[in-house]
Structure 1
Amino acid sequence: MTYYLKFGLFMLVLLVIWEALVRLLHVDPYTLPAPSAIVREFVTGFSDYRVHLVPTVMLVLEGIVMSVVFGIAVAVVLHLVPALEPFVYPLLIMSQNIPVIVIAPLLVIWFGFGLLPKLIVITLVCFFPITVSLLEGFKSADKDLMKYMKISGARKMQLFTKLEWPNALPYFFNGLRIAGTYSVMGAIISEWLGSDKGLGKYMILSQRAFQVDKVFVAIVWIILFALIIYGVILLLERKVVKWHR
């Protein structure tokens, strides 16, 4: 609790300094609004931007599900068929070095303006931490226990389901926490492709109208969504992996 209290006080001090500098230096609100102006727009402008919240939340959740399915599938295949790893793993690394903002327009050309290109964008952003963490978890299984299970006649799939997969669960949640925080930004980028609703669309409209306070409101919601997702994943981990500390 002390940690969060210190962090809250630190953020409060930063906001006070920000507010004071904007007022003392008479900074143009079209350049950098004061925190008080952002909070005012956050509260009074809710009726204007609330229609954009649910589409972004739904897109984030769908993207996380697709990222988890794809990330687990790739990790399991590479672990159970190790001969593929030298060929596939470099491709996974390459996928993380391609700027998403560059490949996003190509996805629109290939798949149109529907849901699929948006989910692909989020998956490209989020699946890699899940896959890498799982692979590390599979490989870190207790070697002595594995030898004992093999001597006892355990088959490859039994080793995987009874030893390697449970051992990899904490690693999986580590990767999922990272992916969860990335998913919101992935959703925002995907909404820039051509959505009619969503925080990404709201940011573009606000930016074009030079309403910087509304842009910051969208940023605040992005941060809140990321924190909520992180917290939910952390609670889920404590429920699922009770034996791990």
Structure 2
Amino acid sequence: MRSWWKNVWPPLVAVIFFLLVWQLLTSLFHIEQWILPAPSDIAREAAAASGGLWEHVWATLKLTVFGFAIGTAIGLVIALILHLIPFLKQALYPLLILSQNIPTIALAPLLMIWFGFGLLPKLIVITLVCFFPVAVAALGGLKQTDPVMMNYMRMIGAGKGQIFAKLELPHALPSIFSGIKIAATYSVMGAIIAEWLGADKGIGYYMMLQKSGYRTDRMFVAIMIIVVLSLLMFGLIALLEKWFVRWKPKQG
């Protein structure tokens, strides 16, 4: 408990200090609410609109979880295939990197044209955002397997499957979870971008409505929800990492 609190209180104090400075500056300089609302105005609006927001939050959360799961699975499969077939890795790894040079916001309209305005193009957008950090992190972790242990297992007659299951995969788990944590935070933003381009509910859709009405306070409410969802996704993966990677040494 003390260790958990030791890690939490420094960023918590920093956030509280930032909010206090924000509140003070908006009051001191009499900044109009439609330009930059104070934290108290945002909190008041969040409480007033909480009933109507749940439907949008739930829609975004479902889209995020589905897209994140698909993107993570595809990233792990790609990493496994490229690791087991070195020739494919040499041929396809540069293309894997180039796939991230296309802005998602530019590709998403094409997906809407090709696949319509249903669920599929939205899941593709989130998958494209999530699979890359998982694949790259998994490939890096599998590549860093201890060569001494690798030679030892070969000497005692271990097959490729045994080496992968008992040495390479466990050794790569910390790197894999690092990529998954990055993908978890990206997945929320991927869902928001997908909703911007075509949806009838969700936080992204809610933001577009409030932007049209110049409701800056409600825009900040949506941003707060996005931050909370990203932190929840990250925290869940961090808990899973502690469960699966119990042998990992503690960081000082």
Aligned CA RMSD, in angstroms, stands at: 1.1
**TM-score normalised to structure 1 length:** 0.97
User: Quick one: percent identity of the two aligned structures?
Assistant: 48
Matched residue, 2:203:
199
- The one-letter code matched in structure 1 to 2:217 is D
Instruction: Note the C-alpha offset of 1:6.
Output: 2.5
| Correspondent of 2:26 among 22, 27, 33 | 22
Task: Tell me which of 12, 16, 24 is aligned to 2:16.
Answer: 12
Runs of 5+ in structure 2 lacking a partner?
Answer: none
SS in 1 for 2:197: coil
Give matches, 1:1-245, under 5 Å.
1-245=5-249
Q: Distance in 1 between matches of 2:18 and 2:227?
A: 16
1-structure distance, mates of 2:198, 2:63: 14
One-letter identity of the residue aligned with 1:176: I
Distance 2:12 2:158 in 1: 52
Structure 2: distance between partners of 1:173 and 1:156: 23
- C-alpha separation in 1, matches of 2:38 and 2:55: 25
TM-score by length of 2: 0.94
Q: How many residues align?
A: 245
User: Which one-letter code corresponds to 2:228 in the other structure?
Assistant: L
Structure-1 separation of matches of 2:7 and 2:157: 49
The code of the aligned residue for 1:137 comes to: G
Give, in angstroms, the shift of residue 62 of structure 1: 0.3
Q: Secondary structure at the match of 1:96?
A: helix
The letter of the residue matching 1:61 is V
Residue 192 of structure 1 aligns to a residue whose secondary structure is helix
The aligned amino acid for 1:75 is A
Cα-to-partner distance string for 1:118-163 (whole Å, 9 max, x where unaligned):
1111111111111111111111111111111112222222221221
Q: Structure 1: which 5+ runs fail to align?
A: none
Q: Distance in 1 between matches of 2:55 and 2:177?
A: 31
